[in-house]
Amino acid sequence: MAQFPLPPLTIGGTAPPPAPPPPSPPRLAALGSVREISAYDVPRLADLCLAKINFVELLEDACGVGDIGMIQKLIECGADPDTFVSDPFHPTAGSIPILAYACVLGDAALVEGLLRHGATPGRWMMADAFACGHDKVVSIMSQHVGIDTLDHRTRMSLLETACYLQNVHAVERLLLLGAKVESQGIPPLIWAFQRAEGDPLAQRQIMERLLDAGADIETGHRGLTPLGLACMSNNIEAVSLLLERGANPNALVGHVNILTLCCKPAVNVPIFAKLLHSGARLPWQRGLELIGDGDDEISVRKRHYFIMAWHMEVNRPVQKRYYLS
């Protein structure tokens, strides 16, 4: 009678080879299969590190499926934190550092982990995070790359760019993130009114936010105060706001004051009149010489406003012959 269990079936007296054991998690990792290894419970990260793992392929696979947990494990195991992977939003555009990938996704924990393990931060990565609305990531990155760092192409900071583009919300976010309202180059306050085709309401809101945050109303660029530059740009809205907030209408531009520049025909009459109304002054003879005795509308109107202001200053009645052409 046959005994159980039966001996293995033999062919020609030789037993079949034993079945290979199932691959271990480290082996699966070496094969580069993120989906398979993530199905295993790997209690010790050292088990992964002991295997000869193709970290690059693993990271690429993990990024491809958005497996943040696996990415973090691989970095903890010794994967290069500067590995390049596909751009999650533009896969065909090329590869980007994994830190840039994390910034675009807005995963603050992954960004912190990568930086802790030596990832190389870049200003452009922080800018991408800001553009995607990930302010927490921007705050983390700004501890490694100054938030006021200039773009190497435009030579502008994030705040200066937001001011020039007249993006009120972006300006408010950057101020909350600690961006400085002063600059070694052109101050953000001046950038706010440099666009000729800009939105006057957005321009005013940004200028008010900057002034409320401590921007110096007299700090300008290349010898011109913000008020002087606004006058030369014929920006009546910016001139009005700056005068309302206390800008000095008699500030010097080199060895002359702002009104001297505004006597030129290039500066429009409403700005000239507003400066006079706010207390800008020139000596009588000097003012008339600068305006000239032309009979064009601009010269006539500027003479009129200048003489009116001068007579109001000395409290004398106005005589029409002084300003009629």
pLDDT in tens, 42-57: 444 545 554 546 788 8
Q: What is residue 289's three-state secondary structure?
A: helix
**Residue 286 to residue 267: CA distance in whole angstroms:** 17
Instruction: Give the residue from 121, 146, 171 where a domain finishes.
Output: 146
Looking up tokens 């033999």 gives 10
In a domain? residue 205: no
Residue 57 pLDDT: 84
Q: What sign has the CA pseudo-torsion 25, 31, 33, 36?
A: negative
Instruction: Give the residue from 90, 113, 146 where a domain finishes.
Output: 146
Under 8 Å CB-to-CB from 316, ≥6 apart: which residues? none
In a domain? residue 102: yes
Q: What is residue 96's three-state secondary structure?
A: strand
What pTM, to 2 d.p., does this model score? 0.79
In a domain? residue 200: no
> What is the number of H-type helices and E-type strands within the chain?
19, 4
Residue 309: domain span? 251-325
- Residue pair 207/241 in contact (Cβ under 8 Å)? The answer is yes
In a domain? residue 42: yes
- Residue pair 119/99 in contact (Cβ under 8 Å)? The answer is yes
Q: Which CATH number is 87's domain given?
A: 1.25.40.20
Q: Could you tell me whether strands 252-253 and 95-97 are parallel, antiparallel, or unpaired per DSSP bridges?
A: unpaired
Domain count across the chain: 2
More confident residue, 158 or 312: 158
- SS percent in the chain: helix, strand, coil, step 5: 50, 5, 45
The lowest-confidence range among 47-61, 163-177, 224-238 is 47-61
Residue 118 pLDDT: 96
Q: What is residue 41's three-state secondary structure?
A: coil
Instruction: Give the residue from 146, 175, 209 where a domain finishes.
Output: 146
